[in-house]
Every structure is written in structure tokens, then in C-alpha cells.
Amino acid sequence: MRLLRRTGQGVSKGLLITNVRLVDGHSDFRGDLYIEDGLISAVGRGLRIPDADVLPGGGRTLLPAFVDLHAHFRDPGYPEKEDIESGSAAAVHGGYTAVAVMANTNPVCDRPEIATYMQEKAARAGLIELYPLGTITRGIAGEELSNMDGLAPHIWAFSDDGRGVERPNVALLAFRRAAALGRPIAEHSEYRGIDDPALAEEVMVNRDLLLARRTGCALHVEHVSSVGSVELISAAKRDGVPVTCEVTPHHLCLEPGYIVNPPLVPREVRERLLAALASGVIDAVATDHAPHTAADKEKGAPGISGIETAFPLLHSRLVRTGQLDLQSLVRAMAARPARILGLNKGSLEPGRDGDVVLIEEDEEFTVTEDWLLSRGKNTPLIGQRLRGRVWATVRRGQVVHLDGKTFGRDFDDHRSIV
């Protein structure tokens, strides 16, 4: 059966997706969606577009494509774990078309040429939009500022992710410089040496909120895992401090035991994090996709390869159980992270980028190492059954993933998909 077909004989005018449930942060109905010139052009019922390519949705659920504020593609430096091509393929397999990648590569992204290398390599792969972060300090050593002025045109934020900037004088200089450059500080909030992970996070969150308040620099708090941090952020937001924050799927859904940083949390903390996400105090879900080799994981390397399982995990554990509605999840995975990055994505309104995903909400599937396109197979979900598989991912009106197959830059005529 052809999965894409033409409605006429002329040159294709765009992509028409038919017979779907359309869900974004403010709407939920059945109908069709049309993408032309890379943008959503029309949404409605019974759309007829002469000479458009048609992707029959088959009753599946259509959502805005996801935006990830926090992933590790390990490129340059660690191709055995991941590179930009394999990370991009994993991203579209998971329904993501825009991904912010962390700076703790080798060499680290503390110079403009590293950021441009990342962007150019992603452009050649042709699957996603990639947004690098640049380091706050040289070599992520926490001692002196990186070339923040040179990095600023090529990145969306500054982060020493993997380490918090512990020296207050260095942090203050960084917040002042980032504010002048119009870029956020994205902080890995952890003071090493404090043996209580929640307290180690809260102390740095508290300090950085004060710096954001005093300097006017936008602060983005990464992978929030503490109820105390949520309370601090909530109070700061009420006071008008420019702060946003994220939570990971694994901190919302998984029991303690698997090694990640910050550590997984007990059920009562997960419930508080979920409530903060539903209320909007926590702005976004970000994967913290952290692929490792089996050997490194056996040695205790923290992290989960999670960009492909993020939506199915959250859908299975939270949406299907009634703990979170689908529209709230879409806001957290698409609308709000797109707003934080300043992207024209995250909803199904006409005029937005034609980035969408089609989900099989009811079909159950098993997570296997072969199913994962990431080189990192480090996830406790191997062998588990989930629902909410991403069936198709569309970027700017081009099908980049369909039913297990990924199509990058070299696949420039999606009309031949069968």
C-alpha cells in the first residue's frame, strides 16, 4: 500500500495529512492538516487540496513535533556513544524535530568553531534543527569564562552541563555577561561535596535565582528533581524573576535504582514534580538523552538513552493512567520548549512550522536494542511494553521518519515512500 499518494497530476503543492485526531495545547478534534512551503497552511475537516501529496493518517493522533531542550549527542569526541547523525535519527524516531545539544563534548563547545561544526553536521544530515549550547567556562573547569562573546551568535544558551558553576564570583560574571549578550544561563544545579542530592540542587538553584534577579539574566534550571527547587522556582516566578525549568521523563516515571544524575526520586517526589509540570511551574519535559556504551555504563556512567522512549514512556505511565492529560503533555513537550527556544513551533495553528508527529496511541510495542536507533542502548526500559509509538515525523512538510524508516537529506522526494 502506498503511504503517500498524489491528489492530482501537477507538481506537488504540499503535504495533506488526512483522517487524524489533531491535538495541541488548546484544541482536540478530528480532521485534516495541510502543510505548504514548510508551514501549516490549513486545519479542518474534509480538506481537499489539488496536487498535494496525501499522507493518510488512518485515525492516528497528530501532535506538534516535540522540542528537546536538553540532549547529549556526544559529537565531537565520542562516536562510540553517539554522533550527530545517529542522534538526529534517534530524535525523529522519538518525534523530535528540534534539539538543543549540550556542550560537554571533546573538545567542549567553548569556541565558535565547535558550535558551527555541530550545526553544519546536523544540516548535512537533514533531519532536525540543532541548537548548540556553549560552555559557561573554559573547558567546563569552572575557573574562567569561555569565549562567551564569540559563542553567543551560534548558541541559544550557556551551560557547563554535567557540572554546576560552583564559584560564586565566576557565576556572577557569567550571569552579567550572558545578560548583556541576550542569552540564558542553563544551569546544572549541583554543588559537589554536599552528600544530599536534593540539598545540593536547592543550594545552587537558590543562588542562581538570586543572580538572575540581580542581573536580569534569564535562567533555565536543568533536570529539576527536588521539591525544594520547585518551591524556590515557583516563588521566583511569582516575583517576576526570568526563570524557566525542565524535568526529565525518567524523573517523572522511573523508580530509583538506575544510575542517573541527579538521582531518580521516590514516588512522593515524582508526584510533586508531576503536579508542578501540570500547573506550569515546571515549564517543559526535556529528555537529558545521555547515550553510553555498555562498558561505560557498567563502570557506573550516569545517564539514560531516552530521546526515543520519552513520549511512549510518558504516554504509557501518565496519560493512559489519567495522571496527566494529553494536551498538558503536548504543552510540556512542544509548545513551552518551543517558546523557550524562540521557535515558530509547538502548535497546530496555521502559520506555524509544519513540524508534526503521528502517534499510535493504542498499539503496544516492546522496547528492544534493535528498535533503538541511538547508539546508546543504556535504558532500563529494554524489554518493557509501552504504548504511544511515533509512527511518522514530519519536518517542514517533509516526512523524515515513517513506520520505522528514517529519511534524511539524501531522501529529497518523499513522494516515493511506499
Q: What's the mean pLDDT in 309-338?
A: 98
**Catalytic position from the list 68, 75, 288, 353:** 288
Q: What is the pLDDT of residues 295-314, one digit of tens each?
A: 999 999 999 999 999 999 99
- Given a cut of 70, whether residue 84 has pLDDT beyond it is yes
Q: What is the pLDDT at residue 7?
A: 57
Tell me the HSE value of 12 on the side-chain side, using a 13 A CA sphere: 21
Percent of the chain exceeding pLDDT 90 equals 93
Q: What is the pLDDT at residue 411?
A: 40
Q: Is 283 in a helix, a strand, or coil? A: coil
CA distance 124 to 81: 20
**Quick one: cell of 16?**
495533506
Is the bond preceding 262 in cis, omega lying within 30 degrees of 0?
yes
Q: Which CATH number fits domain 64-341: 3.20.20.140, 3.20.20.100, 3.20.20.150, 1.10.3720.10?
A: 3.20.20.140
Mean confidence (pLDDT) of the chain: 94
Domain spans of the chain, in order of start = 5-63+383-416, 64-341
Higher pLDDT, 285 or 50: 285
Where residue 240 falls among pLDDT bands split at 50, 70, 90? Answer: very high
CA distance 171 to 159: 11
Task: Compute the radius of gyration of the chain from its Cα atoms.
Answer: 21
To the question of domain 5-63+383-416 being in CATH 2.30.40.10, the answer is yes
Q: What's the mean pLDDT in 150-156?
A: 97
Residue 95 backbone zone (phi > 0: left; psi -120 to 50: alpha; other: beta): left
Q: What's the mean pLDDT in 117-121?
A: 97
Q: What is the pLDDT at residue 261?
A: 97
- Given a cut of 90, whether residue 73 has pLDDT beyond it is yes
Q: What's the mean pLDDT in 357-382?
A: 97
Q: What's the mean pLDDT in 309-334?
A: 98
C-alpha 101: how far from its chain's center?
A: 9
Q: Does 288 participate in catalysis according to the annotation? A: yes
Q: What's the mean pLDDT in 3-23?
A: 78
Q: Where are the alpha helices (DSSP H) in 190-266?
A: 197-215, 227-238, 249-253
- The closest of 200, 195, 201, 139 to 170, measured between CA atoms, is 139
Q: What is the pLDDT at residue 13?
A: 79
- Given a cut of 70, whether residue 352 has pLDDT beyond it is yes
- Please give the DSSP secondary-structure letter assigned to residue 331: I
